[in-house]
Structure 1
Amino acid sequence: MTDFTQLNAEYASQRPKDLIRYALEQHDAIAVSFSGAEDVVLIDMAVKLRRDVQIFTLDTGRLHPETYEFIETVRKHYGITIQVQTPEQQSLQALTTAKGMFSFFEDGHQECCGVRKIQPLKNKLATLDAWITGQRRDQSPGTRSNIEMIEVDASPGQHGELIKYNPLTHWTSAQVWEYIRMFDVPYNPLHASGFVSIGCQPCTRPVLPNQHEREGRWWWEEETHKECGLHGGNIISKG
């Protein structure tokens, strides 16, 4: 049985790339989740270890045009295949037919995120034994402060237990951007316009100086909970 406490203590003092190497050695069915700046840092590290590393992204159908262009830029920059996960058409059509295109402004973002993001992610995770994410503890006050570098995911994998690796757990945003500049890593051009945490176009806006990066997400809702649910199971399980 894997001793996650010991592994987390061991890798807390090592480089993120060392944890990625360990993860790739432990699992055949493993993939890097790609959406933001942190994730391209992971891609940059991972492809240097294994050129054929599996990478996937979620296309909600509501992303900024710049984000779609960014995905293509990353694909070409690294010469990689990016698997694009899309919403199930029947569920999406049922939601938009019943509630229109902007129901989240009236009854919260969880239902829309469930159709456009959560279910497509679960469909992908069901084919894996492990995944690598760009979560950091300082990304979202009160919700991600307890994440670990290695943990059991709340969603099942293809053979039961699904392992989640968060190599950037202890990194700050400044460290992410230092790496991006140092290694000429591609980034979403929206970052140059004040966007820090970038999601769907209707639900994301730039943040002001000294605002936390997650305050630009679902900005019309309660400020203390800025999660779409992609990592919600793990966050809730830690109390």
Structure 2
Amino acid sequence: MPVKKTLYWCHECNVPLLGKRCGAGHEGQPIALLEPYDVRPALAFDHDLIARLVRERFGPVPVPRVLLLNKAGGTDRDEFLIANGARFGRLSFDPVTRRHRFDLEPDALPSVIGHATRGVVDLDRDPAFAGAKVRLGGKRVPVTSSEPDGSVIVRYRGRCGTGVLAGGWLRVRELVPVEPAQFPDPGPEEVVACNRGHLRNIERQAVRRIRVHLGDRPCANVSFSGGKDSTVVLELAKRAGVTEAFFIDTGLEFPETVSFARSLGVRVVEAGVDFDRMVEEAGLPTKDDRWCCEILKLRPLRRHLAGVGACVTLQGNRWYESWGRSSIGEVSRDSANPLQLIVSPIRNWRALEVWLYIWWRDLPYNPLYDQGLERLGCYLCPSMLESEFDRVRSLYPGPASRWESVLRRWADERGLPPEFVLWGLWRWKVLPAKMVALCRRQGIPVPEGKPLAPAPGSFSDSPGRKAGR
């Protein structure tokens, strides 16, 4: 089953398609996606954020109700926006300025140029260009403009393009003839209607695969995380006849997540771990040393499964979530839990399939998605982007402040600069190249390929790690 690297779009209905053909009978056109090829809809908070950024920059430009996000792999949050069957823009977050930024893509010009009242650089009105014939595509040129720095629409000699204005200089992308255009503005209901046949098929396939494995162990259950993927798996499991589900509460979960799990009748298993003590013993959890998952998730899981016995456990693992999960099979085993058989029935679903399925079946979902969070694990998870933790600060100022006080104390004891906390550098034991480059651009010397600072003791040598072996 190959990884899907493209998205299809019905230009007649102006909706994304999960397959090549629209439910209305139209043929979809392919749109190439960036690795890891996942794509998701902009929900309430993100859609409002994008609309605000677009209007601040360009004026009363209509923002389509259906906006899709495809990760682009920048320093922090960096996603291409897809709308009207093409790239609409790019959304990014700068951990230094702590601000989101929107950059307009050339394919969005037909839907934008008829509405933009600012953010436009008209070179025909610039004395340096009036009457001249200058090739501008791909060039950086000095301009006279009252527009603030950032993404702009460029007009010159009857052509339009996009560019970036910075310090009186304009970098121009290709200039081409552009005609204003109107596009239908469907909502989620229309998107679901055009994809109902595909949704019915992937539901049928997933339920069938679950049933194939139910006899492999004496009982079956769902490992529920509180997120969208396990919400869908819980529904598929019920359709296959599986009613047992459990949720490991690490003690660092968002309260909405625990409440959501309880509302669905999922058994909540308390981890019962003193996280603060473990930080003192092991140091900070990081992306490259996620001891927290072992202590807060996996050990409580093993204790729970020891009481359950041999079982099939259904999980919401997906190929498109990360490189680490890109090769997950339908069935896998955990050497630490030899009696458990793990089945991943939606491993080949993208986030778009997941959300359309939730809308199609009218499933309840964690309310934190509509408040701007994409990851719904622990509130201080080092795998979060800094843009996400910035959102956590707004939603949960108390817990976020307490965690930042721990980070500041840890940094002060090791002589690390304030940026260690402010820019989210604590999330790595050894900074990746992109973060090293960020620090050096800002004049902060950091070691490359080495830990930022020696910890008091590595976790592999700590009493907490040895006790569980």
TM-score by length of 1: 0.68
Q: Summarize the Cα distance change of 1:100–1:171 in structure 2 as closer, same or farther, 3 Å threshold.
A: same
Alignment map for 1:181-200 (pairs within 5 Å): 181-200=359-378
Q: Is the Cα contact below 8 Å between 1:133 and 1:167 reproduced in 2?
A: yes
**Greater gyration radius:** 2
Preserved CA contact (<8 Å) 2:217 2:341:
no
Deviations 1:155-200 (A, max 9, x none): 3344xxx321010111100000010000011111111122122110
1:148 aligns with 2:337: no
Q: Count residues in correspondence.
A: 189
Where does 1:70-219 land on structure 2 (aligned, <5 Å)?
70-75=260-265, 82-87=266-271, 89=272, 92-93=273-274, 96-97=276-277, 99-100=279-280, 103-104=283-284, 110-126=290-306, 127-140=309-322, 142-158=323-339, 162-203=340-381, 204=384, 207=388
**C-alpha distance in structure 1 between counterparts of 2:278 and 2:302, whole Å:** 24
Higher relative contact order (CA 8 A, sep 6+): 1
* Contact 2:223–2:230 under 8 Å retained in 1: yes
CA RMSD of aligned residues (A): 3.2
Sequence identity, in percent? 27
- Mapped to 1, the partners of 2:221 and 2:350 lie a distance apart of 23
- Partner of 1:67, secondary structure, is helix
- TM alignment of 1:14-29, pairs within 5 A: 15-29=205-219
* SS of residue matched to 1:138: helix
Q: Which amino acid aligns with 1:133?
A: Q
Judged with a 3 Å threshold, the aligned counterparts in structure 2 of structure 1 residues 32 and 175 are, in CA distance, closer, same or farther, namely: same
Q: 1:157 to 1:30 in 2, by over 3 A?
A: farther
1:39 is matched with 230
C-alpha distance in 1, partners of 2:352/2:254? Answer: 24
1:215 alignment counterpart: none
Q: Which runs of 5+ in 2 are unaligned?
A: 1-201, 390-424, 434-469
Residue identity opposite 2:380 in structure 1: P
Query: Residue 107 and residue 173 in structure 1: after superposition, are their counterparts in 2 closer, same or farther (change >3 A)?
Result: closer
Instruction: Identify the residue that residue 239 of structure 2 maps to in structure 1.
Output: 48
Q: Give the AA of the match of 2:238.
A: V
The answer to which structure has the higher helix fraction is 1
Higher share of residues assigned strand: 2
Residue type of the alignment partner of 1:104: L
- CA separation of 1:202 and 1:101: change in aligned 2, threshold 3 A: farther
AA aligned opposite 1:38: D
Please give the TM-score of this superposition, normalised by the length of structure 2.
Answer: 0.36
Task: Confirm or deny: 8 A CA contact 1:129 1:157 kept in the other structure.
Answer: no
Structure 2 letter corresponding to 1:73: S
